[in-house]
Structure 1
Amino acid sequence: MAPLKIVLLMVDGFGVPPEGWENSMYARFGGQTFAEMLARFSTPLDACLGVDGLPQSATGQTTLFTGINAAAAMNTHLQGFPGPSLRKIIRTQNLFSSLVSLGKKVSFANAYVKYGLEELARMRLRSVTTVMVQNALGEVLRGAELLASKAVYHDLTRASIADEYGIPRITPSEAARDLINIADLNDLTLFEYFLTDKAGHSRDEDLLSSVIGDFSEFLQGLACQLRDNMLLIFTSDHGNCEDLSSRGHTRNPVPFFLFGTQRPALALESIADVEPEICSLLQNSSENQRGNAVFS
């Protein structure tokens, strides 16, 4: 059996709707098939982490990618980008560094077209994933990789940079094809999609319809093209876009979507469980491979 590979999507501001997937704006903007997939293959995770207030991106994503309850460590939810204290947590332990230490090959599939790692290192505001890449991988994918379909742009279609950089647009399904091809070469491939949070903050139904529609096509494309030895996982840092009555985040749980022919039975409770579970899945896969080699 081929070794396990994981495709992980971090979808910003994507909460579980209290009214149910099939009766939510996800069905309205993404279609019934999308909503049915979410209902069938996802379980809810707590994003509040035992801390009062609305969950936020800096502490939520730090928790998600380190397995450390960053909101509890900071005694509050922190928004935006991680400051010095959260960056210290990320550098101490994160999903990329944990897997690299296990001998795993890891890729952050998002293309950095405007800035390279040297320019990013001088910036005060850096995302959790950028800090992880700097800490564990040491390089980012750039425009050349994007043009060669070896990276995926954050908006899926490249529409936001097509005219400025002369980069051809693609469909979300084509972006899914590219991500699967990248995943073929790695044990873990991470892609981050944050337009959902932006659309939620805007309360713009037309924007949300476009963003959810694109993500629906992307997710279904991934599911259709997923290899037999792959697991497709997506989750979020906090709720937001599921509730258009407010511009702010929500205290709703977030989905842990798990899809694939080797889909295991897992029992996660909060976003703090995601990083250790992924590491465990890939480590156990390696041990099983070694065991099979011994007895073959």
Structure 2
Amino acid sequence: MRMIFLFIDGFGIGEDDAAKNPLKSGKASNIQYILENYKVFPTDACLGVAGLPQSATGQTSIFTGVNASMVLGRHLSGQPTISLKKVITKSNLFSELIKKGYKVTNSNVYREEYLVKMHDPKERRYRPSVTSVMTHACGIPFRTTEDYRKGNGIYHDITGEILVSSGYNVEVITPDEAALRLYRISREYDFTLFEHFMTDLIGHKADINEAYKTIEKLDLFLGSLIKLINLDEDVLIIASDHGNIEDVSLKTHTFNKVPTVVIGNIPEKGDAAVWSLTDIMPLVLKIFDKQ
């Protein structure tokens, strides 16, 4: 069994209103098919703490199984603090799978300036994300723009348009090609992570047309990926940290539950309910333990 884990930032379960929810538009047919035909757990992102769910605490909770909002006594946006970095470094999804003898990888491509600056304590713009802290803590090689040129990595925007606009001499790829890259990478590992956070960035703009474009690109990517995976042999999990893009009438995150989607070959007794973000890591480990 191989598992692909898609983390989609700011991707909640919203109302059936295409005027403010791009997931209900005709540009999200693959997403809607997935949500209607596979196992979807509506997952609490509030974690028993008052206030809107945020990225640093939500992502830490997903990838460590620890209620990070309870640890801090609040929800934290952006990148993890020193306290959360300690939680991530102590135990995370990568490290626990590695202990069990599995091969894991982060398929995301990182710009060189990010890799140079993210560990500088004085740096504010390039602070490491939860998945970056996790990758570094486990000694997993970061994929670079050279890997991207060789077809051995995916940029977080799926197509690499941001790399080109940032001055990198690389090609823009289609969502189909990005899905094929992710699939090929996943053939070499037991667990492959891909993180997409344009959904959160665009959600904050509250621009329905920009949201449609972002969702359409993600939808094409997911549709192609589903076709490539042999669901009798492998597992695809889709998870998110909080809602956002599903309600572009707001520029903030939402209190909506997020979909945790489990697709594919789930071994007997490898299934479990996912009520909260903290249940996602235990579910992944249980699936691997029962294969």
Instruction: Say yes or no: TM over 0.5.
Output: yes
Aligned to 1:93: 91
Instruction: Give the C-alpha shift of residue 29 in structure 1.
Output: 5.3
3-state SS in 2 of match to 1:54 = coil
Aligned to 2:24: 27
Any unmatched runs of 5+ in structure 1? 286-296
Instruction: Give the C-alpha shift of residue 116 in structure 1.
Output: 6.2
Distance across 2 between alignment mates of 1:278 and 1:50: 22
After TM superposition, where is structure 1 displaced by more than 4 Å over at least 4 residues in a row?
Answer: 261-265
Verify the 8 A CA contact 1:13 1:196 in the aligned structure 2.
yes
Which residue, out of 160, 163, 166, partners 2:162?
Answer: 160
Aligned to 1:277: 283
Instruction: Give the C-alpha shift of residue 118 in structure 1.
Output: 4.8
Distance across 2 between alignment mates of 1:85 and 1:144: 33
Instruction: Give the C-alpha shift of residue 37 in structure 1.
Output: 1.8
Aligned to 1:236: 240
Number of residue pairs aligned between Structure 1 and Structure 2: 281
Distance across 1 between alignment mates of 2:23 and 2:159: 20
3-state SS in 2 of match to 1:31 = helix
Structure 2 matches for 1:1-296, cutoff 5 A? 4-19=1-16, 24-28=21-25, 30-41=27-38, 42-115=40-113, 117-122=115-120, 123=123, 125-162=127-164, 164-227=167-230, 228-262=232-266, 265-285=271-291
Deviation sequence 1:214-247 (CA, Å, 0-9, x none) = 0000111110000342111111000011111110
Residues 38 and 30 from structure 1, CA distance in 2 versus in 1: closer, same or farther, beyond 3 angstroms? farther
Verify the 8 A CA contact 2:271 2:286 in the aligned structure 1.
no
Verify the 8 A CA contact 1:8 1:189 in the aligned structure 2.
yes
With normalisation by structure 2, the TM-score equals 0.91
Deviation sequence 1:80-136 (CA, Å, 0-9, x none) = 110111111111111111111111111000001233645422245210011001101
Comparing 38-47 with 125-134, which one deviates more in the overlay? 38-47
Distance across 2 between alignment mates of 1:56 and 1:29: 29
Query: Counterpart of 1:169 in structure 2: which amino acid?
Result: V
Aligned to 1:294: none
3-state SS in 2 of match to 1:76 = coil
Distance across 2 between alignment mates of 1:135 and 1:261: 30
Q: Answer 1 or 2: which has greater helix percent.
A: 1
Instruction: Give the C-alpha shift of residue 193 in structure 1.
Output: 0.3
Verify the 8 A CA contact 1:27 1:34 in the aligned structure 2.
no
Distance across 2 between alignment mates of 1:119 and 1:51: 32
Distance across 2 between alignment mates of 1:109 and 1:19: 33
Comparing 141-150 with 255-264, which one deviates more in the overlay? 255-264
Residues 247 and 104 from structure 1, CA distance in 2 versus in 1: closer, same or farther, beyond 3 angstroms? same
Verify the 8 A CA contact 1:29 1:212 in the aligned structure 2.
no
Verify the 8 A CA contact 1:117 1:139 in the aligned structure 2.
no
Verify the 8 A CA contact 1:11 1:236 in the aligned structure 2.
yes
Deviation sequence 1:248-273 (CA, Å, 0-9, x none) = 01110000112225486431111101
Indicate the percent of aligned positions where both proteins have the same amino acid. 36
Query: Counterpart of 2:188 in structure 1: which amino acid?
Result: L
Verify the 8 A CA contact 2:21 2:245 in the aligned structure 1.
no
Distance across 1 between alignment mates of 2:263 and 2:225: 10
3-state SS in 2 of match to 1:240 = coil
Residues 31 and 78 from structure 1, CA distance in 2 versus in 1: closer, same or farther, beyond 3 angstroms? closer
Deviation sequence 1:194-226 (CA, Å, 0-9, x none) = 000011100112211111000000111110000
Verify the 8 A CA contact 1:203 1:244 in the aligned structure 2.
yes
Comparing 40-49 with 57-66, which one deviates more in the overlay? 40-49
Deviation sequence 1:126-177 (CA, Å, 0-9, x none) = 1001100110134201112111111101111111122521211110111000
Distance across 2 between alignment mates of 1:208 and 1:104: 37
